[in-house]
Amino acid sequence: MSEPPQTAADLAVGDLLAGFAPHPDDAAQRYRDAGIFDDRPLWHMLEQAATARPDAPAVTDTGGDHRTLSYADLWSAALRRAAGFAAAGLAPGMRVILQQHNSAEFVITLFGLLRAGVVPVMTLPAHRISEIAHLAAGAGAVAYVTEDGRRGYDHRELAAELQQRVPAVAQVFVAGDPGPYRPLPDTDPDAVTLPDADDVDPEAPALFLISGGTTGLPKLIARTHNDYAFNARRSAEIAELSAADTYLVALPGAHNFPLCCPGMLGMMAVGGHVVFTDNPSPDNTFDLIEQYRITVTALVPALAQVWCAATEWEPADISSLRLLQVGGAKLAEPDAVALDAALGDVVQQVFGMAEGLICYTRLDDPRDLVHAVQGAPMSEFDEVRVVDEHGADVPDGTDGELLVRGPYTIRGYYRAAEHNARSFSADGYYRSGDRVRRLPSGHLAVTGRIKDTIVRGGENVAADDVEENLLAHPSIRAAAVIGLPDEALGEKICAAVVLSHDHPPGRPLELPDVRGFLTEKGLASFKLPDRLVVVPTLPVTAVGKIDKAAMRASLLGP
């Protein structure tokens, strides 16, 4: 007797799993036994909220018409979109590049894809052809879901280039004016067959996040139904979210932080209201906070600093804000203190990564601890090690590299065997590349990046060491230090700085001033910058991390 023919879904799911590194069975069972893995598809949380609180507001757009969808509206829109994708031939297990700005449409598309069993690759609006083509090829994507040119960049042009470079991307769906492509599809869900919850392997990838590395091309991070749902639920617990909360998505919604830490998925887990904006500047967001009585939001440190300053002049009443999460890059202690003073003890530090581990300061931690550390792991099942350059554990209070393994941390990047051999230990720990110090309480302070060093004349100089000392200069508000090629030294130290408001206008800040200051602070002479550039702002990546690759490129010239 011959085997039954394989369906498109069988083939696509098989292909999805090729190159995916799952949790070992015994670990997954342990997490299941502990209730961490609930063996449900990720979309279950929206379906459940739509059942429990159908009429409650789920999502609001603030870009155009301030449209609000209830949970029942959102779920039925997601089902129609799921049916549309299924009718267009997208089968469960297939991968699709998703690139849409913060909006209700973005959530409808995301849950439409999830409900159809299609696996979205969560790219950011700022990604361009080099990243999108790389991610599409790496994921084996068969479609690109994006938007028209109304937001200052025409993604339909990117689509044309993408289909040339990665012909497997056979279909393009466009929000707004589709041009030569297809509009976002919506169909009667009764007209097609969508997968049942039982058809979904909860240990298989539900979606792909993009690694936040600031050098090289991004890598694909497969997050499973089980691990990502836990990420959302546990984060919501720590933030003490309830249906009474309103969360403002001000960072790009496809990033792990506003998506799931707790972000919009955490809010769905409790049936709260999510408000979207594309414009995180205080003149816009403060009005939204007042209008919607926003209680929680998430920012990167550079934006948080802007918000802090704006409390001086923005008239809007933002007293509803009870939790301001700051993460993605290190929040300097004085900035944390200033934020709490300006906004009323609302700061929560978040140290997280798309690869998994999320650390939060807790709502009842003493404020001076909240200001000084980046958080403690969210789960007791997180296995954190801090190791020296030989891989040996260091005692608490000593700097070392953070290694982590646990229920929601990946065991390998997707389809990246060579890279995984370097980034993961044989026993499954992810080598984060972050330098941290652990306190006896379990809280972590991030002290830098392991590999962010400059080798100057044979001496190793940690960039963050110089940066931290530069920040102590009264004229310097922000600083980034990179190595530039030098014939004599191998590398020389270049410091890019942004002047503070205290710097006397009209007087340039010169290299000898800075070197003198650092010498007085006791910095070794080989760590002193060889070159100083004063810049209006430091270049940042799509999610606000200092972009040292871009800095290097602009300082080296063409």
Three-state SS for 139?
A: helix
Q: Which is nearer to ligand OOB, 231 or 285 (CB)?
A: 231
Angle at 100 between CA 109 and CA 411, to 5 degrees: 80
Please tell me whether residue 434 binds ligand OOB under the rule CB under 6 A: yes
Q: Give the residue, chosen from 208, 257, 292, 430, that forms a contact with ligand OOB under the rule CB under 6 A.
A: 257
Question: Interacting stretch for ligand OOB, rule CB under 6 A, among 79-87, 138-146, 167-175, 253-261?
Answer: 253-261
Minimum Å gap between C-beta 459 and ligand OOB is: 24
Three-state SS for 276?
A: strand
Closest C-alpha among 356, 330, 517 to residue 437? 330
Which residues, in sequence order, are bridge partners of residue 480?
Answer: 496
Question: Interacting stretch for ligand OOB, rule CB under 6 A, among 58-66, 344-352, 422-430, 458-466?
Answer: 344-352
Which spans in 440-546 are helix H?
463-471, 511-520
Please tell me whether residue 227 binds ligand OOB under the rule CB under 6 A: no
What's the one-letter identity of residue 284? N
Three-state SS for 543?
A: coil
Q: Which is nearer to ligand OOB, 90 or 135 (CB)?
A: 135
Which residues, in sequence order, are bridge partners of residue 351?
Answer: 359
What whole-number distance in Å separates Cα of residue 105 and Cα of residue 276?
11
Cβ distance 102 to 87 under 8 Å?
A: no
Cβ distance 268 to 54 under 8 Å?
A: no
Q: Give the residue, chosen from 353, 461, 481, 494, that forms a contact with ligand OOB under the rule CB under 6 A.
A: 353
Minimum Å gap between C-beta 207 and ligand OOB is: 14
Q: Which is nearer to ligand OOB, 136 or 261 (CB)?
A: 261
Residue nearest to ligand OOB (CB): 212
Q: Which is nearer to ligand OOB, 101 or 435 (CB)?
A: 435
Q: Give the residue, chosen from 446, 463, 499, 551, that forms a contact with ligand OOB under the rule CB under 6 A.
A: 446
Q: Give the residue, chosen from 81, 223, 233, 330, that forms a contact with ligand OOB under the rule CB under 6 A.
A: 330
Minimum Å gap between C-beta 355 and ligand OOB is: 7
What's the one-letter identity of residue 459? E
Please tell me whether residue 261 binds ligand OOB under the rule CB under 6 A: yes
Question: Interacting stretch for ligand OOB, rule CB under 6 A, among 83-91, 240-248, 267-275, 345-353?
Answer: 345-353
Please tell me whether residue 436 binds ligand OOB under the rule CB under 6 A: no
What whole-number distance in Å separates Cα of residue 71 and Cα of residue 108?
11
Q: What Rg value do the Cα atoms of the chain yield, rounded?
A: 24
Cβ distance 347 to 326 under 8 Å?
A: yes
Please tell me whether residue 546 binds ligand OOB under the rule CB under 6 A: no
Cβ distance 547 to 541 under 8 Å?
A: yes
CA 448 from chain centre, in angstroms, equals 18
Binding mask 386-425 for ligand OOB (x = CB under 6 A): ----------------------------------------
Q: Which is nearer to ligand OOB, 156 or 233 (CB)?
A: 233
Minimum Å gap between C-beta 542 and ligand OOB is: 9
Q: How many CB atoms lie within 10 A of CB 290?
A: 17
Closest C-alpha among 438, 381, 7 to residue 226? 381
Phi, psi dihedral angles at 269 (to 5 degrees):
-60, -25
Minimum Å gap between C-beta 110 and ligand OOB is: 17
The residues that touch ligand OOB, with contacts defined as CB under 6 A, are 211-212, 256-257, 261, 327-330, 349-354, 358, 374, 432, 434, 446, 543
